[in-house]
Amino acid sequence: MSGLVTVDARIVGALREARRVVILTGAGVSAESGVPTFRDQQTGLWKTFDAAELATPSAFRRDPSLVWGWYEWRRATVLAARPNAAHRAIAAMSEFVPHCTLITQNVDDLHERAGSVGVLHLHGELSRPYCEACRRSYVLPEGIPDLPPGGARIEPPRCDACGAMIRPGVVWFGENLPDVAWRSACEAANRCDMFFCCGTSSVVQPAASLTDLAIAARATTVQINPNATGYDDSVTVAIQGLAGIVLPRIVAETWKSA
């Protein structure tokens, strides 16, 4: 897809009219910032690392230093990254649309650093670790951890209040999504008139089911992804392209006279 691509007129028309827009993002939206995705063929984290050894409650119980050190490496990667054109276009969109809800599966803070507010983080946030016992939040030290690719074994810090281990602030496989974020996300998807799913393989549930809610609500649904997903044939428009190119183009075409 080139920068000269024209945006489907259905998208421009629907977006100009839309009162309630939902944007669901996944790892692909941060890929152009240099943050690896999970399932891309060459570069996906789950191609190199074993999710069962790193992203489950039992993995943390079995080997807390391995898990903490891996997430510290991922946190360092995000701290060194900068928001890209996709994050900025999404933040810009919310200025034009009356009600815009941004839902992300990403655990980075690149949406916020691009200017988005009230982001619903379905899978937690790397910057918000907390005590595994009393759930008190833990304030991370300033600075970017200096770690080799893949991280290193690091003993997790201890909770000031109860002395138990601090765990990464992310949702692991087998855990529930944060209740308030999930309920808000469902409500927004049920009520929206336009829904974008960007940079997600749409294979992880329940997040992927938000697209089904929007389809059932008869919203105009748009997928932005350079690769095929299981939703190619069910969304209104599936745009094959990079989020950092397609999203700014959509904003420019829709509100060019604004």
Active site residues: 123
Give the nearer residue to ligand OAD in terms of CB position, either 32 or 112.
Answer: 32
Q: Which of 20, 87, 88, 123 binds ligand OAD (CB under 6 A)?
A: 123
Instruction: Show contacts of 80-84: CB within 8 Å, 24+ apart.
Output: 80/34, 80/144, 81/30, 81/33, 81/34, 81/35, 81/108, 81/110, 82/33, 82/110, 82/113, 83/33, 83/110, 83/111, 83/113, 83/114, 84/29, 84/30, 84/32, 84/33, 84/110, 84/244
User: Is 132 near ligand OAD (CB under 6 A)?
Assistant: no
User: Is 44 near ligand OAD (CB under 6 A)?
Assistant: yes
Distances from the Cα of 143 to the Cα of 70, 75, 197, 222, angstroms: 17, 11, 33, 38
User: Is 24 near ligand OAD (CB under 6 A)?
Assistant: no
Q: Which of 77, 116, 200, 211 binds ligand OAD (CB under 6 A)?
A: 200
- In the shown chain, the binding pattern of residues 216 to 235 toward ligand OAD, with x for contact by CB under 6 A and - for none, equals --------xxxx-x------
Q: Which of 243, 248, 249, 251 binds ligand OAD (CB under 6 A)?
A: 243
User: Is 105 near ligand OAD (CB under 6 A)?
Assistant: yes
- d(CA 169, CA 122) in angstroms, rounded, equals 11
Residues that bind ligand OAD (CB under 6 A): 26-28, 31-32, 37-40, 44, 55, 105, 123, 171, 199-201, 204, 224-227, 229, 242-244
